[in-house]
Amino acid sequence: MSVELWTIIIVGLSFLLYIYIGWRSRVHDSSGFFVAGQGVPSLANGAATAADWMSAASFISMAGLISFLGYDGSIYLMGWTGGYVLLALLLAPYLRKFGKYTVPDFVGDRYYSNVARLVAVVAAIFISLTYVAGQMRGVGIVFSRFLQVDINTGVIIGMAIVGFFAVIGGMKGITWTQVAQYCILIIAYLIPAIALAYILTGNPIPQLAFTFSDIGVKLNQLQVDLGFAEYTQPFANKSMLDVLFITIALMVGTAGLPHVIVRFYTVPDVRSARYSAGWALLLIAILYTTAPALSMFARYNLINSLHNQTITSVQQLDWVSKWENTGLLKFDDKNGDGRLQLTPEQASNEITIDNDIIVLSTPEVARLAPWVIALVAAGGLAAALSTASGLLLVISSSIAHDVYYRIVNPGASERRRVFVGRIMVGVAVVVAGYFGVNPPGFVAQVVAFAFGLAAASFFPAILLGIFDKRTNKEGAISGMVVGLIFTLFYIIGVKFAGMPAWFFGVSAEGIGTLGMLLNLSVTFVVSRLTAPPPVEIQEMVEDLRMPAGELAPTEAAGRF
C-alpha cells in the first residue's frame, strides 16, 4: 500500500479513537469540565501531562532545530526538561494544595483582586493563542504532506476533531484522549529513531548509538568538508549570552505555562500531584533523550541523500516531489551545473529545508516501510492536537470560569457555567484555526515566544505568591503588566517590525528572561512600598507551604 493510504488508515483510526474517548468521557458539571472531577489517577495524569507538554514543537520541530543548530540546539532540551523539573518540584504541589481550577484563579485569590485576576486572564489568553498557533501549523504541515490536501483544509480537519472532544468532554475528555495520544506519539517517535540507529551504527538503542558510535565524528567531518562549523561545536550559531537567556526563558516559561499547571488540579490530592509529576518526567524523558540522537541521524542522512546529487535524480524520488509540493523543501541550481550544493552561504546554497520537516521526512529519507511513515504522521498530529486541546480549555476556562463565573455572574448554575465554557471552546477553536492558517513563524519559534510570555508574566506571580507572603496585589499587578508588555514589545519589534535586538543581541526567543527579571524586580519593590496583604492572606500563604496534615506553629502550641 502507498504511504497516503497507510496514512489515511492510521490517522483515521486514531481520530476515531479520540472521538470515541471524548464521547465516553462527556461531562455535565463544571468540575468535570474544567478539572476532570479531580479524580484522574497519577499514572494517567502523568501520561496526559506528558502529551500536553510535548507539543508539535517537541515532536515535529525540536529535532529539526537541533539538526540545524547542532550543539546550540541543546537550549530546547535543557530549557524544556529543566523547566518541567522546576514546575514539578517547586510549584505544582503547592498549586494543587491551593485547590483552584486555573492559574488566574490562583492569582485572583492569592492577590485578593479581580484586577489581578483579569491581568492573569489576559496573559493566559495571550500565551495560549501564541502557543496554539504553533500547534496548528504542525497540523497543517502533516496534512499537507501526507494526505495531499491544502494546509488550510488540514487545519480545519484538525480543529474539528479537537473541538469535538474538548466541547463534549471538557478536561475529562481531553485528559483521557491525551493518554491515548501519548501512546501514539511516543511509539511513532521511537520506531524511526531505533531503525535509523541500527542502520547507521548497528546499535538499535538511539541513546547508546548516539553516545558510543562514531556517527558524531563522521557528521563533524562532513560539516567541515561542506564549510559549516562542526556539529558539536558550541556557540557556532548563537552567542553564549543568547543561549543562556533562551534556556532560562524556556525553563521558567515551562513553570508558568497555564495548560501544564492546570493538569495538577485534576488529581485527587497533593500526594497524587507529586506522583503524577514523577510519571510525567519519566515519560517525557523517553522522547527527550531520543531527540538529540534522531537529530544527528537525520542531518547525516539528509546531507548524504541530497548534497552533490543531480537535480534530476533527486526529483525522481517520491518523497522529494511531495515535500516540494508543500513549499517546505526547495531546490535552486544557482550555478547551473545540474547538481545540488549544500553550503553555509545563503548566496550559493541550493537546498532549502524547513526545520519542521526533519522528523516527518526522516522515515522517507531512510526508505523505511510506508506504515512507519504513516505512523510518524499520526504521531505528529497526536502531539499537536493533544497540546491544542489543553490550550483551548485554558482559553475557555479563563473566560468562562475566571471572568464569567468569578466576576460577572457568581451565582451562575453548574449547567450555565459548562454551557459558557463550551461556547468559549468553540470561539477558541475558530481563533486557533485562524492562527493555523496564518502562523507567525515556524513551530518551535512560535512556541518559544509563548514560553517567553509565560516566563515574563506568570512565573514571578506564582513563585512569589507561594514563597513570599509580603507580596501584595499592587506588586503582582504591576509586575505582570510590566513583564508582559515589555516582552511583547521586544518580540513584536524584533520579529515583525525590523527592530534590532538591542539588548546585547539577545533574540526574541530569549527576551522572556529579561521580562521575568523585570517582573520580579517591579513586584518586589512595589510590594515593599505599599501596604502588606491582609493578615488572612498572609496566613493562607503560610498554610499553603505547610505539609499536609501538619499543624502551623501557633496551632501546635495550643495543643499543650
- Residue 286 in this model has a pLDDT that exceeds 60: yes
Share of the chain above pLDDT 70, in %: 94
Strand, helix or coil for residue 174: helix
Quote the pLDDT of residue 559: 36
**In this structure, what C-alpha cell is assigned to residue 528?**
515593599
Mean pLDDT of 200-217: 93
In angstroms, the CA 355 to CA 484 distance is 28
What residue segments make up the domains of the chain, in order of their start? 3-301+356-439
Tens of pLDDT, residue by residue over 294-306, are 999 999 998 888 8
More confident: 521 or 18: 521
Q: Which fold has domain 3-301+356-439?
A: Sodium/glucose cotransporter (1.20.1730)
How is residue 346 annotated by DSSP?
T
Label residue 113 left, alpha or beta by phi (over 0 means left) and psi (-120 to 50 means alpha): beta
Tens of pLDDT, residue by residue over 88-116, are 778 878 887 887 667 888 899 999 999 99
How is residue 342 annotated by DSSP?
-
Burial class (CB in 10 A: 0-12, 13-18, 19+), 338: exposed
Quote the pLDDT of residue 244: 94
In angstroms, the CA 49 to CA 378 distance is 19
Pairing of strands 351-353, 329-331: antiparallel
Which residues 6+ apart lie within 8 Å of 423 measured at CB?
400
Tens of pLDDT, residue by residue over 337-392, are 888 888 888 777 888 888 778 888 889 888 899 999 999 989 988 888 888 877 88
**In this structure, what C-alpha cell is assigned to residue 513?**
528572561
- Nearest partner of 393 among 165, 96, 160, 117, judged by Cα: 165
Quote the pLDDT of residue 60: 80
Burial class (CB in 10 A: 0-12, 13-18, 19+), 61: buried
CA angle 318, 320, 326 (to 5 degrees): 110
The reported pTM is 0.84
More confident: 26 or 453: 453
Tens of pLDDT, residue by residue over 226-280, are 889 999 999 988 999 999 999 999 899 887 777 777 787 788 887 888 888 889 8
